Amino acid sequence: MNEEVLEKVYQENLEERIITYLAEKCDFSYEKAMDVYYSSNLSDKIYIGREGIQYLDYKVLVQILMETEKELFG
C-alpha cells in the first residue's frame, strides 16, 4: 500500500468514527449525523487535509464541529 491509499483509508475511518460519535453524543440517527457532518465546513477541511486537522482525535473534531457550526444542529 502506498501513502496515498493509507491516507484515504485513514480518512474514511476517521469520518466513520466522527459520524458514529456525533450520532451518539447528539442523540441523532446515523443518517442525521451523516447529513450534519457532510454539510459542515469541517468535513471539507478534513477532506482537503487543511492544517493537519484530520490528525486530531475524532472526539475533539466533534467538539469543534459542535462549537463552530452550531447552525447545523438547529
The per-residue DSSP string of 3-71 comes to HHHHHHHHHHHHHHHHHHHHHHHHT--HHHHHHHHHTSHHHHHHHHTGGGGGGS-HHHHHHHHHHH-GG
Over 80: is that where the pLDDT of 1 sits? no
Q: If you compute the radius of gyration of the chain from its CA atoms, what whole number of angstroms results?
A: 12
Check residue 26 and give its pLDDT: 97
What's the pLDDT score for residue 49?
A: 85
Total structural domains within the chain: 1
Domain that holds residue 63: 3-73
pTM assigned to the model: 0.93
The residues, any chain, with a CB within 8 Å of residue 8's CB and separated by 6 or more, are none
